[in-house]
Amino acid sequence: TDLLSAEDIKKAVGAFSAAESFNYKKFFEMVGLKKKSPEDVKKVFHILDKDQSGFIEEEELKFVLKGFTPEGRDLSDKETKALLAAGDKDGDGKIGAD
Please calculate the CA angle 52-55-61 and round it to the nearest 5 degrees: 95
Binding residue per annotation — 10?
Answer: no
SS3 30: helix
Binding residue per annotation — 39?
Answer: no
Binding residue per annotation — 77?
Answer: no
Binding residue per annotation — 68?
Answer: no
| Cα separation, 19 vs 37, whole angstroms | 31
Binding residue per annotation — 90?
Answer: yes
**Which residues define the annotated binding site?**
49, 51, 53, 55, 60, 88, 90, 92, 94
**Which residues define the annotated binding site for Ca(2+)?**
49, 51, 53, 55, 60, 88, 90, 92, 94
